[in-house]
Chains A and B, each alone.
Chain A
Amino acid sequence: MRHTISVLVENKFGVLARVAGLFSARGYNIASLAVSETLDATISYMTIVVEAKDEKVLEQINKQLNKLIDVITVTDFTHKDHLDRELVLVKINYALKDKPRLEAIFNKFVGKVIHHKDQIAIIEAVGDQQQIDALLKELDKFGIKELVRTGKLAISN
């Protein structure tokens, strides 16, 4: 099962390698990872989506992360109120005649065209996992040529 955790870390040289190294050394899987500075430039915020087969593994991941000297706090969002979003950029096959179809999609789903040239359009969408998955399913009908995603960002509410 996938779990979303956030990790506040010291914004120091090598800290990403420490976190990533911990996951690989102990055999945990990272599904996605997003890192950036916070308002306090000495602290970085990581949102990590992990694959954990049970609560015991998740508990170990939390504890092992906490054991890293540069980790300030670990928050497991599994049983916590939070919002999460992901940004995707999708390159699809697109001609002007497809416009009404695409607009119909955007009426029901998240997303907008941010670039259009020749037979290619680039769609930007921000949403939660379900919204993104639903959109991608629709866009697939046009033929997805390329897809990039940021991985999940999560914040408590």
Chain B
Amino acid sequence: MVGARILLESLKKQGVEVIFGYPGGQVLPIFDQLYDFDVKFILTRHEQGAAHAADGYARSTGKVGVCLATSGPGATNLVTGIATAYMDSIPMVAITGQVGTHLIGNDAFQEADVTGITRPITKHNFLVKDVKDLARTIAEAFYIASSGRPGPVLIDIPLDVQRADTEFIWPKKISIRSYQPTYSGHPGQIKKAAKLISLAKKPVIYAGGGVITSGADAELKELAEKIQVPVTTTFMGLGGFCGTHKLFLGMLGMHGTAYANHAIMESDLIIAVGARFDDRVTGRLDDFAPGAKIIHIDIDPSSISKNVRVDVPIVGDAKNILKQLISEIKKLPETALWLKTVEDWKKKHPLTYKDDSALLKPQYILQELWDLTKGKAIICTEVGQSQMWACQWYQYLTPRTFISSGGLGTMGFGFPAAMGAKLGFPGKEVFNIAGDGSIQMNIQELATCVANKINVKVLIFNNGFLGMVRQWQELFYKKRYSHTPITSPDYVLLAQSYGAVGMRVTKRSEVRAALQKAIQTKNTVFIDFCIAPEENVYPMVPAGQAINKMIEGLA
């Protein structure tokens, strides 16, 4: 069997349902095999779109996303997508063609050192120089991508290896001596954690993306309800705890709710589950939660004690550890008084915005979207203000319903990611919450959506600005709007020219009907919402400040 065929047979063995990619000179043998191979292949209009689509598929389904590109520019176009997946620990396998082994290092046409380029942004990568290693390498790549703390893995396959012939032998079991992730938590540490919890007066659970990766949402809920402790999630953790639950505080950090930030700052115990104390969460580190002891549950030891000092580190899988922790807690903490304090904060500092009948407010659009979908939709986002509003004004009830680039903050992510999510869940409504800046970064994927009948609904919050940067310029650079005003095409005509449906909404009264129409439309829909041009995202913690030093202005 030739290498190209071995690749596809191996992907089949891994249960791959869909591949996103783009052909080119150094992957011709693979595309020749794809011609009549039984797997869904989605031809994107840009390799970056393929990488983000594979990522969106992975985030929504929990399975490994797969993308495929040619050597050189095809591979370098994947780079942003791979880095995006890496920062958010998303399981992905990227396959790239490479020039023939005899040409490697010769500056051949469309040659790039892709394993070199992607080394710092992959969990691991491989250059397969011998076709005999190919099947095992693919099996290892999927294993590495999906186990432990997941991440993207790249396999670079030279042209001659794709053509070379060998017997297809699929490995029965994959075991890598230098890679043995820890899944079960240390019992002694769990006992210590249980004791700290029993004694706490003002505990907070701080849950991150690890809860979603691990599938620990049910255990998280059980723990929170058992010990009656408020829960805040990170951006990546949204959906890991029910967004309408009484104990939920919303997201914390730079654009988190005031009550989540106050609660974490005043707490005497932080129970961190699958979160990494990122700078957008902690604000100024020296001032972060000064009175709190910290229990940190994470599968990646290097996440622990990286940014904050941790009192009880527990390395392992969140689901396993939470289960053990729940049964280990015998004496419940007394939190009634604390919960009342938190409730008071909720009442005193609610999320709010100044509604205005003359101006279309993005928060209002999201409230209407929530009202129409009640958390059953998958919400993807681009990056910036629209993304932060989507965190604040839509409630995520279950894991994998909020899909957004967190760590890397990649503009242009949302639209192709929404395509991937829609392919993962054809029966669900998939929305992409976009700004007029971000949507123009991967707008070419409209063609992919229409050609493949991937009916995603793109809600463009069009304010004529690169809004988040403009907000910073307004607040910290004396309103010197340097290169943040941005023009757009006519999105209605643009959508139509691609064969999609375009709508424009300028008034508050038109929002609901437009959303309803979009939901009913069996096509890709772009809605151009002409929103208030200088609406800001609040609350906001200025960079380098403690997270309870928020600007809570009403815009």
Contacts and interface: CB of A to CB of B under 8 A. Distances in A.
Contacts of B127: 13-14
Contact of B120 (A13, A25, A72): A25
A72 B178 contact: yes
Contact of B176 (A9, A17, A22, A69): A69
Interface residues of B, number: 18
A27 to B, nearest CB: 13
Contact of A63 (B116, B124, B176, B302): B302
Given A69-B144, A69-B176, A70-B178, A59 B119 contact: no
Given A10-B178, A69-B179, A72-B177, A21 B306 contact: no
Contacts of B129: 13
A25 B124 CA distance: 15
A66 interface: yes
B302 A64 contact: yes
B115 interface: yes
Contact of B305 (A9, A21, A56, A71): A56
B5 interface: no
B311 interface: no
B120 A21 contact: yes
A69 B305 contact: no
A70 B176 CA distance: 9
B464 interface: no
Interface of B is mostly: mixed
Interface in A60-79: 60, 63-64, 66-67, 69-72
Given A10-B178, A60-B306, A66 B301 contact: yes
A67 B302 contact: yes
Contacts of A72: 177-178
A56 B302 CA distance: 11
B276 to A, nearest CB: 13
B119 A17 contact: yes
A92 to B, nearest CB: 40
Contacts of B120: 21-22, 25
A6 to B, nearest CB: 15
Interface string A30-42: 0000000000000
A71 B129 CA distance: 21
Interface of A: 9-10, 13-14, 17-18, 21-22, 25, 56, 59-60, 63-64, 66-67, 69-72
Interface of B: 115-116, 119-120, 123-124, 127, 129, 144, 176-179, 300-302, 305-306
A-B pairs with the 9 shortest C-beta distances?
A63-B302, A69-B124, A72-B178, A69-B179, A25-B120, A63-B301, A64-B302, A67-B302, A21-B119
15 contacts: A10-B178, A13-B129, A14-B115, A14-B116, A14-B127, A56-B305, A59-B305, A60-B302, A66-B301, A67-B301, A69-B144, A69-B176, A69-B178, A70-B178, A72-B177
